Structure 1
Amino acid sequence: MSAMREELHSLVDQLPDDRVQPVIALVRENLLASRRIQAAAALERIRDRMRGVTGVDEELDQLREGSRG
């Protein structure tokens, strides 16, 4: 375990029980925000790569409508 994680565990262990839930909620919120940021960045990279490519929408439609077997 990294030193930062160990420190977090140590700090959480020192909290009164009624203060643990808000800390966990904050960590979860930051984790979800980080994932959304990563997803948005990945989508932007894909958009950049697809700029100027013709027929992409039509090909995606064909794949969606085609056999999935």
Structure 2
Amino acid sequence: MSAMREELHLLVDELPESRVLPVLALVRENVSSSRRREKAAVALEAIRNRMRGVTGVDEELDRLRDESRG
């Protein structure tokens, strides 16, 4: 186990039980959003590959990717 993971385990072990749930929720949220970003990147690459050679597609996909999500 990496030193950072080990430290996380030690810190969680020191928390009062009432604070463990919020920490777990935060970790789960970050894991979930990380997976969504990875899936979106894979989907974008698949679209880019299918549309290769079509004029303007790369620029439009770049614009959509870089656009603010709100």
- In the superposition, the TM-score normalised over structure 2's length comes to 0.72
Report the counterpart of residue 9 of structure 1 in structure 2.
9
Larger Rg: 1
Match of 1:23 in 2: 23
Q: CA deviation at 1:10?
A: 0.6
The separation in 1 between residues aligned to 2:43 and 2:17, in whole angstroms, is: 40
- Report the identity percentage: 55
The residue correspondences of 1:28-43 to structure 2 (distance < 5 A) are 28-43=28-43
TM-score (norm 1): 0.73
Ranked by relative contact order (alpha carbons within 8 Å, sequence separation 6 or more), the top structure is 2
When the two chains are superposed, the root-mean-square deviation of aligned CA atoms in Å is 1.2
Structure 1 partner of 2:57: none
| Aligned residue pairs, count | 53
